[in-house]
Amino acid sequence: MSNESRAPNSLASPPEGEAGERSEPGGGSPSLAPHSQLTPLPDPPPQGGREDSQQPTGKKTKQQQFRREKRDVHGWIVLDKPVGMTSTQAVGAIKRLFSCKRAGHAGTLDPLASGALPIALGEATKTVPFVMDGRKTYSFTVHWGEERDTDDADGRVTATSDMRPDRAAIEALLPDYTGTISQVPPQYSAIKVEGERAYDLARDGETVDLQARPVDIHRLELVGMPDADTALFEAECGKGTYVRSLARDIGRALGCFGHIKALRREAVGTFSKNDMISLEQLTAMCHRATAGEGSLADALLPVETALDDIPALAVARADAARLQRGQAVLLRGRDAPIFRGPVYVTVSGQLVALAEVDRGEIVPKRVFNLAGLVGSRSLKKGR
């Protein structure tokens, strides 16, 4: 991801993980959310035979299980992830609700964190890098007086102080953490060290020497001090920024230590808090759709929503067909745009391809097949 709120310079595959927050333990394949988080959808009706069949005496039979057929679903869900749920569990829950074939998120949120978790379904997964490269906005609470090994409330206390900072001291320090700064990731992070994740090494008791790296903090504000032990902040930052490291470093600079007590992501790229939807709302919409009341397309943002920061280019149907076959198209005519860089191509308002314009040619990089359920929800304005 770039450190600016614009599209990446190339149409590369998605990065291996979001560096913004700690990856949840376990990794591996997606798992479903706890039963308390979701209301099960109705089972499909029995197919063939009687509802109650008499079984021979003395024989044990396995209960028949019905599996809903996976389907093609394309679009974005900006989930308002609850505290306590991992990002992997959240993706699993969305896949279950939509019975979709493919899904992935655009930036991990810790179990401790809540808020915007953009989840791409189907062909939207091809646009994940554009979301991950966008700016992120966080609101967070720092608890003073303790530093912890995870740099948040889940960790073990490693240092304490009786000192507490006042507003003037905090505000005087914030300019030092605004702009391009050098930041050391937390010990418990997804950074790879000689092929292993730092959080795995940390759990085994190893102290990992992680190198500082540049990150962009576009805005950092103190918004409240409810009491002497806590301070409320808002931050807008670029790719790779760890808010936990920010709290740790500010605490050390103030001489009082500190760690993240609460963290909420308010916005990611073009997605704002107005676009978020809860699991409860999605579950209710799925039930209504099952009953024939409304469509799940109303819950999905269109695939191209993630591409708002790059130009759109409309082409004729013949050119769209060539692009979908992976063939380059020559820009012709007096009104042909003169520029170089990434574009998303449409025909009659429908997304066709991600492409690069170079030397008067449209060169397709990613082609979209939007057969199936496609998002129709509108992006809401405002932050």
Catalytic residue positions?
110
Give the other-Cβ count within 10 Å of 354's Cβ: 24
**How far is residue 165 CA from its own chain's centroid?**
34
3-state secondary structure 289-313: HHCCCCCHHHHCECHHHHHCCCCEE
Question: What is the residue-wise DSSP string for 92-118?
Answer: HHHHHHHTBS-EEESS---TTEEEEEE
Dihedral over Cα of 151, 154, 158, 164: its sign: positive
Kindly give the interhelix angle for 279-290 and 87-98, rounded to the nearest 10 degrees: 10
Q: β-pairing, 73-81 with 350-358? A: unpaired
E strand or H helix at 245, and its extent?
helix 243-254
What torsion, rounded to 10 degrees, do the Cα atoms 376, 13, 368, 279 define?
Answer: -30
